[in-house]
Amino acid sequence: MNTIMKWTIIFFIIALIAAVLGFTGIAGAGISIAQTLFFVFLVVAVITGILGALRG
């Protein structure tokens, strides 16, 4: 599993726990960090896939 994806899952879990405990500010920050990391992961995965397809 990619390191970026691991951090995305970690921040998502932190956000879920914070939301359950009522810390909405921390939950919102955790979700936005997780979302940003997820999109970075997608961009890196697409670029890697395109480069792999071009190499053969």
pTM passes above 0.85: no
Spatial contact of 40 and 8, defined as CB atoms under 8 Å apart: no
- How does pLDDT run across 3-56, given as a tens digit for each residue? 877 888 888 888 888 888 888 888 888 888 888 888 988 888 888 889 888 997
Tokens of 55: 């190499």
Spatial contact of 48 and 11, defined as CB atoms under 8 Å apart: no
Total of domains in the chain: 1
Burial of 37 (0-12, 13-18, 19+ CB in 10 A): buried
CA distance 47 to 55: 12
Containing structural domain, residue 26: 3-55
